[in-house]
Structure 1
């Protein structure tokens, strides 16, 4: 098993998705070390985890020395477009992500990069929804960057992992929908644990599926569970 262990970088661990993915990475026998890159401390203490505080993600050059030698990045940092001006959303989604990825690629060109996008992302960059076009352009340009491997994850509804602290508040009002979706349209809903397992499966063992939609998330998570 030792030769299968990977060293990961995880962003967004002060948010719901990043915290959940970090939780799964900590408990994975296939992960030996995790560098959490955050604006502020995530509060997680574990022998596997180191933390680097990057106060301005639009200026990622400061992190160069800290990120050398890692095998994969699970990029879970993101913002909602609700109430945000288009230029600001583009800056905090496209500009921030591509700038961060550029520095990562320069220091670790052979690493795997996994990006949390979202269901409905517009790969053509031509649709009517601005957020979907921005996400699509982000995915497309990350794919062109030349990482050793690249994945776009497009979850729809995510059920938070019980016991974690960063679940978005509105989830407690809509949690009743989750079992209904799992029954009538399983591909539209996954647990945060399933998403974490899917990201670990592709980052550590690889996958031919590079744009990871709902059904793909469930299939990759099942593969990871079979390994544990």
Structure 2
């Protein structure tokens, strides 16, 4: 498989990239972002673009892919609804619409969040915007669309959040997250779980699917070439 990853520098994206490069059936991974990654690998290519709203200029480098794992996202904290909508809905749909035109047989996997409001009418601003984004993605002519809704995410393999405060919190919480994950499977997902589940989604191609946290864990355990 040939995989596109958006948001590979973030905590979730780092985990997804780690799993993609470890998968024997992935022949190429291309990351798309505003800044280059420090990581190198024989199967890793990087497409650095300062304006992700203007990817038409590099259409030729976005063709021939089996799946796109869209891990790009921002916190809504301190943002107006309009600003958050521009970065969350408008950017995602702009990129996805272009990819659907270039790769109609593609599986598109979007990282949303637990509590997303599919009605688009709830009180929570971020949940409404995420809900509209999910709804509009399902209308695009991809072969498959998976909408991942993780809740608490535990980073593994030394992966860290780019936000200093989050890094500190994860250092404190990580031992407890491991205990909770063993005691209550499905409540917490790891960055490994998300990456493996995305790969299995691309392998099985299942229409339009909302994947809640417990289902991410189940999907990560299914059909994996890595056992």
1:211 corresponds to which residue?
210
Contact 1:127–1:133 (CA under 8 A) maintained in structure 2: yes
2:192 corresponds to which residue?
193
Contact 2:200–2:224 (CA under 8 A) maintained in structure 1: no
- Aligned match for 2:134, one of 133, 139, 148: 139
After superposing on structure 2, the runs of 4+ consecutive aligned residues of structure 1 that deviate more than 4 Å are 165-168, 224-227
Unaligned runs of 5+ in 2: none
Q: 1:208 to 1:183 in 2, by over 3 A?
A: farther
TM-score, scaled to structure 2 = 0.92
Q: 1:180 to 1:114 in 2, by over 3 A?
A: same
Unaligned runs of 5+ in 1: 1-5
Contact 1:155–1:188 (CA under 8 A) maintained in structure 2: no
- Aligned match for 2:67, one of 60, 72, 76: 72
Q: Secondary structure at the match of 1:127?
A: coil
Q: Tell which deviates more after alignment, 59-68 or 146-155.
A: 59-68
Distance 1:177 1:140 in 2: 35
Q: 1:209 to 1:62 in 2, by over 3 A?
A: closer
- Aligned match for 1:43, one of 34, 38, 60: 38
- Aligned match for 1:89, one of 84, 99, 104: 84
Q: CA deviation at 1:60?
A: 2.4
Provide the aligned C-alpha RMSD in A.
Answer: 1.7
Q: CA deviation at 1:144?
A: 0.4
Q: Secondary structure at the match of 2:18?
A: helix
1:104 aligns with 2:106: no
1:152 aligns with 2:151: no
Q: 1:209 to 1:112 in 2, by over 3 A?
A: closer
Distance 2:179 2:149 in 1: 20
Q: 1:173 to 1:85 in 2, by over 3 A?
A: farther
Distance 1:174 1:225 in 2: 29
Q: CA deviation at 1:56?
A: 1.2
1:60 corresponds to which residue?
55
Q: Tell which deviates more after alignment, 172-181 or 42-51.
A: 172-181
Distance 2:180 2:113 in 1: 17
Contact 1:37–1:51 (CA under 8 A) maintained in structure 2: yes
Distance 1:118 1:177 in 2: 22
Distance 2:222 2:209 in 1: 16
Q: CA deviation at 1:178?
A: 1.3
Q: CA deviation at 1:184?
A: 5.4
Number of matched residues? 223
